[in-house]
Amino acid sequence: MSKPWKIPVSVLVVIHTPDLRILLLERTDHPGWWQSVTGSQEAGETLVETVAREVREETGLDVTEHRLIDWDQSDRYEIYECYRHRYPPGVTHNTEHVFSLQVPDAIAVSLAPAEHLAYQWTPWQAAAESCFSPSNAAAILRLSEIRSGQHQG
Protein backbone atom coordinates (compact mmCIF):
# COMPACT_ATOMS: atom_id res chain seq x y z
CA MET A 1 0.00 0.00 0.00
CA SER A 2 1.37 3.40 -0.91
CA LYS A 3 1.63 6.23 1.57
CA PRO A 4 -1.07 8.89 1.39
CA TRP A 5 -0.21 12.20 -0.25
CA LYS A 6 1.31 14.87 1.94
CA ILE A 7 -0.83 17.91 2.72
CA PRO A 8 0.94 21.07 1.44
CA VAL A 9 0.80 22.67 4.90
CA SER A 10 3.77 22.29 7.22
CA VAL A 11 5.39 23.56 10.39
CA LEU A 12 8.91 24.84 10.97
CA VAL A 13 10.07 24.69 14.59
CA VAL A 14 13.27 26.54 15.49
CA ILE A 15 14.49 24.86 18.68
CA HIS A 16 16.91 27.07 20.60
CA THR A 17 18.59 27.75 23.93
CA PRO A 18 18.28 31.06 25.80
CA ASP A 19 21.65 32.16 24.34
CA LEU A 20 20.41 31.33 20.80
CA ARG A 21 22.21 28.12 20.04
CA ILE A 22 20.03 26.50 17.40
CA LEU A 23 19.36 22.79 17.02
CA LEU A 24 20.09 21.73 13.44
CA LEU A 25 19.36 18.30 11.99
CA GLU A 26 21.11 16.77 8.97
CA ARG A 27 18.78 15.07 6.48
CA THR A 28 19.39 11.42 5.60
CA ASP A 29 18.05 11.87 2.07
CA HIS A 30 20.43 14.79 1.41
CA PRO A 31 23.60 14.60 3.54
CA GLY A 32 24.92 18.10 4.10
CA TRP A 33 21.42 19.62 4.17
CA TRP A 34 20.88 21.02 7.68
CA GLN A 35 17.53 22.24 8.97
CA SER A 36 15.31 22.82 11.97
CA VAL A 37 12.45 20.46 12.79
CA THR A 38 9.91 20.56 9.98
CA GLY A 39 7.05 18.42 8.79
CA SER A 40 3.69 18.27 7.09
CA GLN A 41 0.37 18.54 8.84
CA GLU A 42 -1.67 15.34 8.89
CA ALA A 43 -5.42 15.23 8.30
CA GLY A 44 -7.36 16.39 11.35
CA GLU A 45 -4.38 17.87 13.18
CA THR A 46 -4.13 21.41 14.47
CA LEU A 47 -0.83 23.16 13.77
CA VAL A 48 0.18 22.81 17.44
CA GLU A 49 -0.54 19.07 17.27
CA THR A 50 1.66 18.88 14.15
CA VAL A 51 4.43 20.72 16.01
CA ALA A 52 4.18 18.36 18.99
CA ARG A 53 4.23 15.25 16.78
CA GLU A 54 7.10 16.40 14.57
CA VAL A 55 9.26 17.56 17.49
CA ARG A 56 8.65 14.25 19.30
CA GLU A 57 9.33 12.16 16.16
CA GLU A 58 12.46 14.05 15.10
CA THR A 59 14.06 14.82 18.49
CA GLY A 60 12.27 12.89 21.23
CA LEU A 61 11.46 16.18 22.98
CA ASP A 62 8.05 16.91 24.54
CA VAL A 63 6.95 20.44 23.63
CA THR A 64 4.85 20.69 26.81
CA GLU A 65 8.06 20.64 28.87
CA HIS A 66 9.50 23.70 27.10
CA ARG A 67 8.52 27.19 25.90
CA LEU A 68 6.64 26.89 22.59
CA ILE A 69 5.74 30.07 20.72
CA ASP A 70 3.48 30.28 17.67
CA TRP A 71 4.87 33.19 15.63
CA ASP A 72 1.57 33.60 13.80
CA GLN A 73 3.69 33.71 10.65
CA SER A 74 3.42 31.63 7.52
CA ASP A 75 5.46 31.55 4.35
CA ARG A 76 4.45 30.09 1.00
CA TYR A 77 7.25 28.59 -1.05
CA GLU A 78 7.80 26.34 -4.03
CA ILE A 79 8.31 22.71 -3.05
CA TYR A 80 11.75 21.41 -4.04
CA GLU A 81 11.45 19.26 -7.17
CA CYS A 82 13.00 16.28 -5.36
CA TYR A 83 10.07 16.24 -2.90
CA ARG A 84 7.09 16.90 -5.21
CA HIS A 85 6.38 13.19 -5.67
CA ARG A 86 5.13 13.17 -2.05
CA TYR A 87 2.26 15.55 -2.88
CA PRO A 88 -0.83 15.16 -5.07
CA PRO A 89 -0.20 15.72 -8.80
CA GLY A 90 -0.05 19.41 -9.67
CA VAL A 91 0.83 20.61 -6.14
CA THR A 92 3.91 22.82 -6.41
CA HIS A 93 3.71 25.09 -3.33
CA ASN A 94 3.59 24.59 0.44
CA THR A 95 2.52 26.91 3.26
CA GLU A 96 4.88 26.70 6.23
CA HIS A 97 3.87 27.94 9.71
CA VAL A 98 6.69 29.09 11.99
CA PHE A 99 7.13 28.24 15.68
CA SER A 100 10.00 28.37 18.14
CA LEU A 101 10.74 26.13 21.10
CA GLN A 102 13.11 27.29 23.82
CA VAL A 103 14.90 24.60 25.80
CA PRO A 104 17.10 25.31 28.84
CA ASP A 105 20.40 24.19 27.31
CA ALA A 106 21.98 22.29 24.41
CA ILE A 107 20.40 19.00 25.46
CA ALA A 108 20.80 15.59 23.87
CA VAL A 109 18.07 14.61 21.42
CA SER A 110 16.97 11.29 19.93
CA LEU A 111 17.01 11.40 16.13
CA ALA A 112 14.63 9.55 13.83
CA PRO A 113 17.25 7.52 11.89
CA ALA A 114 15.09 7.36 8.75
CA GLU A 115 15.00 11.18 8.64
CA HIS A 116 18.23 12.54 10.15
CA LEU A 117 21.87 11.50 10.28
CA ALA A 118 23.16 13.90 12.92
CA TYR A 119 22.37 16.94 15.01
CA GLN A 120 24.33 19.91 16.26
CA TRP A 121 23.75 22.93 18.48
CA THR A 122 25.04 25.91 16.53
CA PRO A 123 25.25 29.66 17.32
CA TRP A 124 22.43 31.41 15.48
CA GLN A 125 24.57 33.19 12.85
CA ALA A 126 26.29 29.97 11.77
CA ALA A 127 22.99 28.09 11.98
CA ALA A 128 21.30 30.51 9.58
CA GLU A 129 24.22 30.15 7.17
CA SER A 130 24.10 26.34 7.42
CA CYS A 131 20.42 25.88 6.55
CA PHE A 132 19.67 24.73 3.02
CA SER A 133 16.18 26.24 3.25
CA PRO A 134 15.91 30.02 2.80
CA SER A 135 12.76 30.17 4.95
CA ASN A 136 14.52 28.28 7.75
CA ALA A 137 17.50 30.66 7.61
CA ALA A 138 15.15 33.66 7.65
CA ALA A 139 13.32 32.31 10.72
CA ILE A 140 16.61 31.90 12.61
CA LEU A 141 17.61 35.46 11.71
CA ARG A 142 14.20 36.73 12.79
CA LEU A 143 14.50 34.86 16.09
CA SER A 144 17.75 36.71 16.79
CA GLU A 145 16.03 40.06 16.05
CA ILE A 146 13.06 39.21 18.29
CA ARG A 147 15.35 38.13 21.11
CA SER A 148 17.42 41.31 20.88
CA GLY A 149 14.27 43.44 21.03
CA GLN A 150 14.63 44.97 17.57
CA HIS A 151 11.20 43.68 16.45
CA GLN A 152 7.96 42.83 18.14
CA GLY A 153 6.10 39.61 17.39
- 51-62 pLDDT per residue, tens: 999 999 999 999
Does residue 4 lie in a domain region? Answer: no
Beta partners for residue 93, in sequence order = 78
Q: With respect to residue 24, please indicate whether it lies within any of the assigned structural domains.
A: yes
- The number of domains in the chain is 1
pLDDT value at 152 more than 60? no
Rounded mean pLDDT of the chain?
94
Q: In whole angstroms, what is the distance from residue 38 CA to residue 48 CA?
A: 12
Whether residue 67 lies inside any domain: the answer is yes
Kindly state whether residue 1 falls inside one of the protein's structural domains.
no
Q: Give the per-residue pLDDT at 2.
A: 63
Does some domain include residue 47? yes
Domain hosting residue 52, numbered range: 9-147
Q: Can you give the pLDDT at residue 63?
A: 98
pLDDT at 151 (0 to 100) = 43
> What end-to-end distance do the CA atoms of the chain give, in Å?
44
Q: In this predicted model, what pLDDT tens digit does every residue of 75-119 receive, in sequence order?
A: 999 999 999 999 999 999 999 999 999 999 999 999 999 999 999
The answer to whether position 2 is within a domain reads no
Residue 72 lies in a domain: yes
Question: Has residue 152 been placed in a domain?
Answer: no
**Domain of residue 96, CATH code:** 3.90.79.10
Query: Residue 12 pLDDT > 70, yes or no?
Result: yes
